[in-house]
């Protein structure tokens, strides 16, 4: 029954449209849930700029004709020209050179603070962690999106607010800065903050996509108002009975007219190495 519910959810035009909106000039990746047969390859380096792209990929994966489900992700990076156009078959690809130099094509690279409960029974700890970190961000006027990820929360600041090199071989690059910010938040606010996720090809969960686990399925959902975090109830995001709005909801950028200068200053003054 849950398999049919997953397929029905992804057949919704409003869901597919909101997913595709987030993928323009980003990498699209489909990864098997950890509990499923891993003999089937995960797929990365997918270009998905419109509904036709999305539907074609789903058809190639036989998503609607089998029970081979995937979790959907996007790159934290955007690229000036998007992911190179290519065939889905891995044996017909030739991306080796692009993978080595892709940072030269990078337009931006988002800061994601990943708060992972590890277990759904610990979701209240993750909720509290997200509350105190967003309060800290609000105090410093840091712009961010807030998204329930399926087992925790993502706090994402768009990369265009930062001015750092994306070249991984330069010492003063954006990845070192983001790691320093994550360590600061880990040390001062919550041990649920993942401090080891910053490399040029890092992925994050797509909002409005499904987080599929062996015993449950949740909708990764953007929280557009502070009250939605304060009153968060895990059961409301379970796919079984999910009835929250999708059409025209999008994602709210909190503190849109803010900046990251104070955040960078706090991290530097806190003696984090940047």
Task: Give me the residue spans of the domains in the chain.
Answer: 2-269
- Where does the pLDDT of residue 182 fall: very low under 50, low under 70, confident under 90, or very high at 90 and above? very high
pTM: 0.93
List pLDDT tens digits, range 1-21. Answer: 568 999 999 999 999 999 999
Across residues 101-108, what is the average pLDDT?
Answer: 88
Region 196-214 average pLDDT: 92
pLDDT tens digit sequence for 18-72 = 999 999 999 999 999 887 766 667 888 899 999 999 999 999 989 999 888 899 9
Per-residue pLDDT at 90 exceeds 80: no
Q: Is 51 or 95 the better-scoring residue by pLDDT?
A: 51
User: Is the separation of the CB atoms in 202 and 190 below 8 Å?
Assistant: no
CATH architecture, domain 2-269: Alpha-Beta Complex (3.90)
């Amino acid at each position: 029954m849950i398999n049919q519910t997953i397929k029905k959810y992804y057949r919704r035009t409003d869901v597919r449209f909101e997913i595709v909106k987030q993928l323009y000039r980003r990498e699209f990746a489909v990864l098997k849930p950890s509990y499923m047969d891993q003999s089937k390859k995960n797929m990365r380096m997918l270009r998905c700029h419109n509904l036709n792209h999305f539907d074609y990929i789903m058809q190639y994966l036989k998503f609607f004709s089998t029970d081979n489900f995937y979790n959907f992700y996007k790159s934290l990076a955007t690229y000036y020209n998007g992911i190179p156009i290519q065939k889905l078959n891995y044996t017909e690809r030739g991306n080796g050179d692009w993978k080595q130099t892709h940072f030269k094509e990078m337009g931006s690279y988002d800061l994601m603070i990943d708060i992972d409960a590890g277990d759904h029974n610990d979701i209240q700890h993750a909720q509290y962690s997200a509350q105190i970190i967003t309060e800290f961000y609000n105090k410093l006027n840091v712009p961010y999106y807030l998204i329930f990820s399926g087992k925790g929360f993502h706090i994402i600041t768009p990369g265009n607010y930062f001015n750092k090199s994306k070249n991984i071989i330069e010492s003063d690059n954006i990845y070192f800065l983001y790691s320093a910010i994550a360590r600061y938040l880990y040390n001062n606010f919550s041990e649920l903050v993942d401090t080891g996720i910053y490399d040029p090809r890092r992925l994050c969960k797509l909002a409005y996509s499904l987080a599929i686990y062996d015993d449950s399925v949740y909708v990764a959902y953007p929280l557009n108002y502070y009250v939605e975090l304060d009153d968060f109830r895990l059961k409301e995001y379970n796919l079984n009975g999910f009835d929250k709005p999708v059409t025209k909801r999008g994602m709210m950028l909190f503190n849109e007219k803010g900046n990251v200068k104070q955040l960078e200053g706090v991290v530097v003054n806190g003696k984090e190495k940047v």
